[in-house]
């Protein structure tokens, strides 16, 4: 008989203080999956932590212990040889499990499921308790992220420049009883494969393991159904009596590989594996989807020839993703989790955001190591939508130690994560964690944690590449401002000087959408934004550089003082849009040396007043998301523009490109370049690029004109592709503030003379 | 009864062709350990491969299969419960072992011992055969090192710029029968330990495993004797009946740590572990030496602050060796094996060379991944002499594949090597192999071979650092000439511009000593050196850059045409000496950013006519060895000199330093700087550096003088330390050739005017 599950329901009690020996007393309803904080707040009508100054009441809960108690339910009926298992799929973070007051297990780690055989102990009236310990904190560490440095608890919860301190605890994944029989699979059947050189055929193996040696006459049936619902493989194989393992070799021709959505179809096959007894009775059944794909990190052209002087060092490591033998440019974003409480996220939450990812032409998400873990449906959606996943382990901006205790926890947690998600075709990259080789972390290639993660990914999923951290040599993080207040340099110029192999983080901040600001900030504090108010507790001031993330002086640098909140939001968001547009396109222009552009960051776990994110909490796109979407179209006309702010009389000299990441060749086309000022359009040049090879850019002419006088404050450069408005682009630029148009600045006379 | 061993003796037969099915026919005497080539040459009186043109007759042997047959000897007497094992400690490279014509085993790999239980099969008249396969060659690979790319056979044997093609085969380690009893240790007892923070105490564990469960009343006795022969630990512990494992925890205070010879004493403790039966009878005994030391790779000061611009990459990886909590500067050399045939090397061969290493102030050897493996006595000597070992796996300058077959072989061979040598305190660094991340190899961080080696070293010896290859980022290899013929740049200047964290290879070639040239080159070819003669087959021409390694044009650039062999050798060796002196000292001046200087190379496996080595085959020091020894003294006065060749009238401006790597502070001293030309001495300056901290350099003044007229061709800069002639230094420099002293070159007027 196939396995049956009985979901558990729970109540919750807060233990006074952190002393877990104390008695649970007052019970409140518990929502599982969820978090103790959410239950406690609901029961006590705490005001929303997101709004105004209400966060404090939520924060202190990290120091309590909590007791979950299962609400008595149906006692599952068992056949004589069946076993009853208690399964807690994810407990955040350290816990003790007791039945009838007897402690059965101590457990630490949110990625590793708890599975306990309770057959003999489970009876009507049984008392199941899960005692949740207070949030883990490294002894002696100061308040903040370094308290997470000795555990696998996501560090962001301890406070970050876009995340308040608020540390979730509780049952964050499903909990249930499961009836298991000796005639069940003991673990999900595993399908491993390798693709042929041309990635058109697969050879592999299905492996199943039973809970007990097979009885006489048992068979294993396997059906594989292609994306068009055609059955491409169907077999029924005997399992020898007494064997508890069975492997079936297979080979498939003419497969439809899984592709990221911008390269092809994210094809998924449906696999159904049925275990049958001798009479044909179905004992167990396992259904899941498979995508066939091959992933490699390969060297960019020219990189092998560098360095070319003595003393000779190594070549920079490869970071270009090659999927199914095809190199591609990874355009994506850093995913920091759409909620502080990962337990309350469901498929619909992920889906709303992932649809935005796909719709805006992003093909990869870096699951940043500081952020909470995600549920299975996230990876399923990425498989379906053709979004590549760069998965980090829970290490970020700390020096995680070489101690036996920490390494044992990391070993367990990393193995659990790898075993759980390695089957997803969307998973293309493992990574140890965030910025671990930089001075604010202090880890090195010799750190045992990273050697352990190399080992575990190599042992359990060798075909997927592994990076110890990001950035590694050649990769770049930052800048995180539109214009550096210290150097005056704009982000566009920073990128135009750089030659990274991958831009895996770069940010431009903007204020939140008006609707968000109005909800989270008390009306009296809304205007003007000031330090010491809710603006500050929502990250508008002093969280990174002094003025981050609102960066008022920068907005005023370009536009002068703002007189309303609406004006501030509009201007700040314009800077963010322009910034990201220029950065993504510049990274793409540097292809093939550069092969990745991922902004910091996609979403946010709570509503910030200002932040680098493209999407405000819970899922409110900022205008920059659309700008990024435009910049990441597979094909577009693009302009390399030296700077954002221009003075009439200067030589305006954008370089024109045709960017093309698509897998097809392009016919010749006509690009015309126009300048629009005060509603007047001037033709700067026409250019006939093409034919253009697949996944290849085309560098074109440099337009040049002495910038005419105009009123401003904005003007626009248009790149129009004849008959392909979907490839045309527009760049909004700004007139330099406070410059008399008649008086060119020093150093610009050459330009004016042209 | 302690274990007893019966050495085996052998005869050898060459199988016609490579077909191993053919019959062995004509038998010749075999020397084991050794190589089939040596036996064959001895039996057939082949002329020495080192001399003249006789190599060809040796080379073709790589394509034959060879049969060893044991010469019947004593049949070891066995007690009823004893077992007889056949042990072949190292077979080079692939073989089949047969007893009485029955094939018992196929084996590949020279690092992994063969151990076979032959109790039931061994009787008087038994026929033991070991069939050695022809040298392994990757299918389809061109003649040369890439034929080694699918095996763990050292690549150098396939031909290198200092090594002829000559691929050893045969029994290269001991072979014997061993009587084993259930009351024996099944593997060498293992002592693991960790040092306290101050490295003055050790905590650890002795672990023993028996061949069978212990009988009643068995005990384990352990004595640890310190370097002064004082017993510091002595215990006798019971082994529970039925247990086959026993661990003893221990802690030691006031330990004498093992130090590299330039930092302290390479203290070794003697450990004696005795397994006793209930009556006190000794069942087994294991004696070995232990050194207590802690090793880490740490970041150089300032490295964490770099890079400091956006987009921000990672900091360079750490490469400074820290032994027992003390950072040190690693001064050493690349060891390429003192013979083509590793099987004929014995402790005395190693010792003669290692004494030169120590006497010349070198504290580390990089066991280059291209070279053959070494026997146990090598590591024992390094332990005794306080010479650190950087151990590479057998990968060099090839793209070793991700195939299952290669990875399985590498897994086995690397585990065997790690398990065999990890106990040596001299072993301070594991490394994947040579220059694997450069374009002539083509491997990357993603290569499965290197991920596997990282895993295996982490699993089996986590306390010793691991590098995937050399160079990694920050490290530099080269240059390998005194003066680059293309750029005209001198090696001194190349280093003075560089800022590597480690200089792990750099070379200056020189002709071999006269006595070597006269032995290996036919008299008629000795003078002048010409291409197409034995000079070329002994690497004087065209093996790397066109003129390497004799580099005649460079010698003539400085000294003009040579008129005799003696003159050529003297001048070439002077360039080598000067080159190495300047390079080692410059690397040391760059401390603490730089922390390593290892020249390419120390020794050579056969007598070259010209090469970068410091020691010619078999153990003939070139003058450069003494120059390196001077440059590597723990304390010395040192001059940074811009170039080697000077014109009278130029501004001669050496910068004066006091280099100090020693562990003690130094009192103030007086350094006087003198110029000697044509036998006349001029005082340039006096300088009073100090007091000087341990392991700290002191940068001093720049001497400046317009270089007076002199006859030449050489002149000398003396740095004299008052009362410490052992810290004084001298630099021989050369007068620019063909420059009229009266006519300064363009661009040097400023100097002349001073």
**A252-306 tens-digit pLDDT:** 999 999 999 999 999 999 999 999 999 999 999 999 999 999 999 999 999 999 9
| pLDDT, tens only, A556-573 | 999 999 999 999 999 999
B751 touching A (Cβ < 8 Å):
no
Test A473 with B503 for CB contact under 8 angstroms. no
**Nearest CB to A478: which of B310, B315, B477?**
B310
Whole-number Cα distances in Å, A747 to A487, A494, A548, A751: 18, 20, 32, 8
Q: So what's the pLDDT on residue B161? A: 97
Give the mutation candidate from A311, A411, A434, A494 for the B interface (greatest B CB count, under 10 A). A311
Test B314 with A448 for CB contact under 8 angstroms. no
A355 touching B (Cβ < 8 Å):
no
Give the mutation candidate from A444, A475, A489, A494 for the B interface (greatest B CB count, under 10 A). A444
Q: How far is CA B582 from the centre of its chain?
A: 22
Whole-number CA gyration radius for chain A: 28
Report the alpha-carbon distance of residue B180 to residue B83 in Å, rounded.
5
Residues of B in contact with A446 (CB under 8 A): 296-297, 317-318, 465-466
Residues 6+ apart with CB under 8 A from B460: B415, B418, B419, B422
| Contact between residue A55 and residue A164 where contact means Cβ atoms under 8 Å apart | yes
- What stretches of A461-502 show up as alpha helix (H) in DSSP? 491-497
Q: What letter does residue B712 receive in the DSSP assignment?
A: -
Residues of B in contact with A494 (CB under 8 A): 310-311
B451 touching A (Cβ < 8 Å):
yes
Q: So what's the pLDDT on residue B546? A: 87
Test B318 with A444 for CB contact under 8 angstroms. yes
Q: So what's the pLDDT on residue B19? A: 60
Q: So what's the pLDDT on residue A19? A: 60
Give the mutation candidate from B315, B445, B481, B497 for the A interface (greatest A CB count, under 10 A). B445
pLDDT classification of A24: cutoffs 50, 70, 90: confident
Give A615-620's long-range contacts (Cβ < 8 A, gap of 24+). Answer: A615/A338, A615/A353, A615/A356, A616/A512, A616/A513, A616/A516, A617/A50, A617/A338, A617/A339, A617/A516, A618/A338, A618/A339, A618/A349, A619/A338, A619/A349, A619/A352, A619/A353, A619/A356, A620/A512, A620/A513, A620/A515, A620/A516
A28 touching B (Cβ < 8 Å):
no
User: Chain B residue with minimal CA distance to A442?
Assistant: B304
Q: So what's the pLDDT on residue A449? A: 98
Residues 6+ apart with CB under 8 A from B320: B297, B298, B299, B300, B327, B328, B501, B592, B595, B596
- Torsion, CA A224, CA A226, CA A230, CA A232, rounded to 10: -50
Test A473 with B473 for CB contact under 8 angstroms. yes
Residue A245, pLDDT above cutoff 90: yes
Q: So what's the pLDDT on residue A16? A: 76
| Contact between residue A215 and residue A238 where contact means Cβ atoms under 8 Å apart | no
| Contact between residue A611 and residue A162 where contact means Cβ atoms under 8 Å apart | yes
Q: 3-state class of A41 per DSSP? A: helix
Q: So what's the pLDDT on residue A52? A: 79
CB atoms closer than 10 angstroms to residue A532: 10
B483 touching A (Cβ < 8 Å):
no
pLDDT classification of A654: cutoffs 50, 70, 90: very high
Test B471 with A314 for CB contact under 8 angstroms. yes
* Helix-helix angle A376-385:A404-421, to 10 degrees: 50
Q: What is the pTM of this model?
A: 0.96
Q: Is B139 exposed, middle or buried (0-12, 13-18, 19+ CB in 10 A)?
A: exposed
Q: B212 vs chain A: nearest CA distance in angstroms? A: 30
Structure tokens given for A481: 């401002």
Structure tokens given for A69: 């108690």
- What stretches of B470-605 show up as alpha helix (H) in DSSP? 491-497, 514-520, 534-537, 552-559, 565-589
In degrees rounded to 5, what are phi and psi of residue B145?
-60, -25
Q: B444 vs chain A: nearest CA distance in angstroms? A: 6
Report the alpha-carbon distance of residue B750 to residue B732 in Å, rounded.
25
A509 touching B (Cβ < 8 Å):
no
Q: What is the mean pLDDT of residues A194-200?
A: 95
Residues 6+ apart with CB under 8 A from A725: none
| Contact between residue B96 and residue B123 where contact means Cβ atoms under 8 Å apart | no
Structure tokens given for A71: 């609400």
Residues of B in contact with A502 (CB under 8 A): none
Residue with the two structure tokens 């215990």: B235
Q: So what's the pLDDT on residue A750? A: 33
Report the alpha-carbon distance of residue A267 to residue B345 in Å, rounded.
60
A314 touching B (Cβ < 8 Å):
yes
Q: 3-state class of A653 per DSSP? A: coil
| Contact between residue B632 and residue B596 where contact means Cβ atoms under 8 Å apart | no
Q: So what's the pLDDT on residue B741? A: 44
Report the alpha-carbon distance of residue B260 to residue B322 in Å, rounded.
11
Q: Residues B132, B136, B141, CA angle at the centre, nearest 5°? A: 160
Q: So what's the pLDDT on residue A471? A: 98
Report the alpha-carbon distance of residue A520 to residue A535 in Å, rounded.
9
Test B445 with A317 for CB contact under 8 angstroms. yes
| pLDDT, tens only, A389-431 | 999 999 999 999 999 999 999 999 999 999 999 999 999 999 9
Q: So what's the pLDDT on residue B469? A: 98
| pLDDT, tens only, A691-722 | 999 999 999 999 999 999 999 899 999 999 99
| Contact between residue B583 and residue B479 where contact means Cβ atoms under 8 Å apart | no
Q: Is A357 exposed, middle or buried (0-12, 13-18, 19+ CB in 10 A)?
A: buried
Test B445 with A471 for CB contact under 8 angstroms. no
Test A471 with B312 for CB contact under 8 angstroms. yes
Q: So what's the pLDDT on residue A546? A: 87
A403 touching B (Cβ < 8 Å):
no
Positions of chain B with pLDDT lower than 70, given as ranges: 1-2, 17-22, 739-754
Report the alpha-carbon distance of residue A480 to residue A580 in Å, rounded.
11
A420 Rama class: left (phi>0) / alpha (psi -120 to 50) / beta: alpha
Q: B235 vs chain A: nearest CA distance in angstroms? A: 28
Task: With CA atoms as reference, report the closest residue to A51 among A472, A554, A412, A521.
Answer: A521
How, if at all, do strands A729-735 and A645-646 pair? parallel
Structure tokens given for A266: 């994210």
Buried b (16+ CB within 10 A) or exposed e, A615-644: bbbbeebbbbbbbbbbbbbbbbbbbbbebb
CB atoms closer than 10 angstroms to residue A486: 7
Residue A752, pLDDT above cutoff 60: no
Q: So what's the pLDDT on residue A17? A: 62
**Nearest CB to B315: which of A438, A467, A495?**
A438
**Nearest CB to B458: which of A451, A471, A477?**
A451
Q: So what's the pLDDT on residue B21? A: 58
* Chain A with chain B: Cβ pairs closer than 8 A: 142
Q: B249 vs chain A: nearest CA distance in angstroms? A: 17
- Helix or strand holding residue A477 (H, E): strand A475-477
Q: So what's the pLDDT on residue B566? A: 98
Test B479 with A445 for CB contact under 8 angstroms. no
B308 touching A (Cβ < 8 Å):
no
Those of residues 410-439 in B touching chain A at CB distance below 8 A are 437-439
Residues of B in contact with A305 (CB under 8 A): 439
Residues of B in contact with A454 (CB under 8 A): 451, 454-455, 458
Test A458 with B439 for CB contact under 8 angstroms. no
Whole-number Cα distances in Å, B498 to B332, B587, B695, B697: 19, 9, 22, 18
* Helix-helix angle A552-559:A565-589, to 10 degrees: 90
């Amino acid at each position: 008989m196939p396995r049956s599950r009985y979901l558990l329901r729970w109540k919750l009690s807060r233990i006074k203080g952190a002393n877990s020996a104390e008695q649970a007393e007052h019970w409140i309803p518990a929502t599982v999956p969820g978090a103790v904080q959410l239950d406690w707040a609901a029961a006590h009508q705490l005001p929303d932590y997101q709004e105004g100054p209400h966060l404090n009441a939520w924060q202190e809960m990290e120091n309590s212990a909590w007791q979950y108690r299962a609400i008595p339910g149906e006692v599952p009926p068992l056949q004589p040889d069946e076993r009853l298992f208690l399964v807690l799929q994810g407990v955040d973070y350290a816990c003790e499990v007791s039945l009838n007051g007897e402690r059965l297990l101590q457990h630490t780690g949110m990625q590793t499921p708890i599975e306990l055989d309770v057959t003999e102990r489970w009876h009507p009236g049984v008392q199941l308790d899960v005692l949740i310990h207070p949030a883990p904190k490294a002894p002696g560490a100061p308040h903040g992220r370094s308290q997470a440095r000795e555990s696998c608890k996501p560090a962001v919860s301890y406070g970050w420049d876009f995340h308040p301190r608020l540390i979730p605890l509780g049952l964050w994944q499903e909990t249930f009883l499961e009836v298991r029989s000796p005639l069940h699979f003991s673990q999900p059947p595993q399908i491993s494969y390798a693709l042929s050189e041309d990635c058109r055929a697969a050879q592999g193996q299905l492996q199943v393991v039973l809970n007990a040696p097979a009885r006489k006459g048992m068979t294993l049936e396997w059906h594989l159904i292609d994306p068009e619902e055609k059955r491409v493989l169907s077999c029924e194989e005997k399992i020898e009596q007494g064997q508890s393992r069975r492997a079936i070799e297979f080979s498939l021709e003419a497969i439809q590989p899984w592709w990221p959505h911008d390269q092809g179809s994210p094809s998924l096959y449906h696999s159904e594996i049925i275990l049958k007894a001798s009479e044909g009775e179905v004992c167990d059944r396992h259904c899941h989807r498979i995508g066939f794909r091959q992933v490699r990190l390969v060297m960019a052209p020219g990189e092998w020839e560098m360095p070319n002087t003595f003393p000779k060092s190594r070549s920079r490591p490869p970071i270009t993703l090659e999927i199914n033998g095809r190199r591609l440019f990874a355009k994506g974003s850093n995913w920091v989790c759409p909620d502080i409480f990962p337990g309350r996220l469901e498929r619909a939450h992920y889906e709303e955001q992932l649809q935005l990812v796909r719709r805006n032409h992003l093909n990869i998400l870096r699951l940043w190591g500081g952020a909470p873990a995600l549920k299975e449906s996230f990876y399923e959606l990425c498989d379906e939508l053709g979004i590549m996943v760069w998965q980090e382990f829970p290490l970020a901006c700390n020096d995680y130690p070489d101690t036996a205790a920490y390494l044992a926890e990391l070993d367990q947690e990393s193995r659990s994560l790898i075993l759980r998600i390695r089957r997803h075709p969307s998973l293309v990259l493992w990574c140890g964690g965030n910025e671990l080789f930089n001075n604010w972390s202090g880890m090195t290639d010799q750190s045992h944690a990273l050697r352990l993660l190399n080992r575990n990914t190599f042992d359990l999923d060798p075909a997927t590449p592994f990076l110890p951290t990001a950035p590694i040599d050649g990769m770049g993080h930052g800048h995180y401002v539109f214009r550096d207040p210290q150097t005056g340099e704009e982000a566009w110029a920073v990128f135009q000087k750089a030659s990274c192999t991958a831009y895996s983080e770069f940010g431009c901040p903007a204020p939140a959408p008006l609707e968000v600001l109005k909800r989270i900030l008390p009306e009296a504090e809304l205007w003007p934004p000031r330090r010491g108010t809710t603006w500050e507790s929502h990250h508008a001031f002093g969280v990174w550089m002094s003025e981050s993330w609102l960066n008022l002086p920068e907005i005023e640098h370009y536009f002068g003082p703002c007189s309303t909140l609406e004006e501030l939001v509009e201007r700040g968001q314009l800077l963010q849009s322009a910034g990201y547009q220029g950065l993504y396109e510049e990274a793409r222009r540097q292809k093939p040396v550069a092969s990745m552009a991922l902004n910091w960051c996609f979403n946010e776990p709570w509503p910030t007043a200002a932040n680098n994110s493209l999407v405000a909490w819970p899922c409110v796109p900022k205008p920059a998301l659309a700008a990024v979407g435009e910049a990441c179209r597979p094909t577009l006309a693009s302009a390399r523009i030296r700077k954002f702010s221009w003075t009439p009389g200067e030589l305006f000299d954008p370089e024109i490109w045709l960017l093309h990441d698509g897998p097809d060749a392009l016919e010749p086309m006509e690009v015309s370049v126009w300048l629009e000022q005060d509603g007047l359009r001037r033709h700067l040049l026409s250019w006939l690029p093409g034919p253009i090879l697949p996944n290849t850019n085309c560098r074109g002419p440099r337009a040049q004109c002495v910038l005419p006088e105009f009123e401003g404050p904005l003007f626009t450069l248009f790149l129009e592709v004849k008959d392909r408005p979907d490839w045309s682009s527009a760049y909004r630029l700004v007139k330099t503030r406070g410059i008399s148009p008649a008086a060119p600045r020093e150093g610009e006379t050459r330009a004016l003379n042209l």
